[in-house]
Amino acid sequence: MEIIVKISGRSTALRREVEEILREKLGRVCIYESLTGLELEKGSIIVVVGDDKDVLQTLHTVSERNVEVLAVSRDATRGFLSQIMIDELPDALDRIERGQFSTENIMALEVRIDDQNSAIAVNEAALFSQISATLVEYSLYIDGELLWRDLADGLIISTPLGSSGYSLSAGGPLIHHAARSIAVVPVNSIDMTRRPLIVGENSTISVESVSSKGGAEVIIDGLLRIPVEEGLTVKMYEPPIKFIRLNGPSPIFSKIEKKIHLAEVLLDTPPSAKLILKTIEYEGPLTYSQLLKKTMLPERTLRHALNILVSKRLLARRPLTRDARQKIYYIPESSQASET
């Protein structure tokens, strides 16, 4: 059994920390910054140390290979996909080598754009205009049958795992991660009859006749942006993504429970605040200027939303190390969430 540890190249300090923790194991554990082009044995185990963005990028790289993935987080607030913390890694590797683990199959989607480009979505494929605050027109087909034509802000097609993310924020249903179904969620349709839809795992979802002022694009897992000229086709991807479970119930389910609690807290929160929270969840800690650029919110709206999030203890802020005049915003540990 081949065990490979993957750490993002941007995480120099994290790599040193992992190397120190695994000092006695380095003779049998390989550490890589990238898995692109790496020959992997069938049944290899990939240990990804980092946040959810690192895990998703790795899954996109190894999706066509028959490997199993263990996600490890350094920060408890950054790892929805992670099962263990970094200090638990040595014990986890011992248990994996002894075969004391099980495998959990997670559904993914195959997304084909304009019958040319193809991508794998672990969470969702989201169709939006390339210009902010611009509507997208499209026709939705399920298994070749026209379901509706619509004009909306966008359309999200989500896996059960992704249903607790962007899909949920847009009014979509929360789906148990073990369910074999796909969520189709229109975003702010001008037609109130366009409601979220659940289809079976074997369904083929076609989005055709796509048009939008300035062009449309599909966003895969918040990582890839691919222009759409005519449409896209989405269906279940085979083989499924394989996550390692070390013991007890799935950690994903307990984290979904936490997200439900968070959703209750956010009920009276403006959309701008939800956008900021999701951006920091994906990108990590950001300064005010970085948030301004990434969210494209007006400055007044951004300041107001940040004040709300800090007052609710959903975000915290601290001086930027290299420039104390700037503040950096981050998702705090629940025990440290304070208005600073």
Catalytic residues, by residue number, are 52
Contact between residue 152 and residue 145 where contact means Cβ atoms under 8 Å apart: no
CB 237 within 8 A of CB 120: yes
Q: How many CA atoms lie within 13 A of 52 on its CB side?
A: 23
Integer Cα distance of 98 and 180 in angstroms: 31
Measured between alpha carbons, how far is 27 from 5 in angstroms, rounded to an integer?
Answer: 13
Other C-beta atoms lying within 10 Å of the C-beta of residue 63:
18
CA distance 287 to 237: 37
Cα–Cα dist 55/210, whole Å = 31
Contact (Cβ atoms closer than 8 angstroms) between residue 309 and residue 268: no
Q: What angle do CA 188, 192, 196 make, to 5 degrees?
A: 65
d(CA 196, CA 173): 7
Element (H, E) at 46: strand 45-49
Give the C-alpha separation, 167 to 183, whole Å: 8
Each as own residue / partner, the long-range contacts of residues 255-261 (CB below 8 Å, 24 or more positions apart, any chain) are 255/80, 256/164, 256/174, 256/177, 259/80, 259/164, 259/168, 260/174
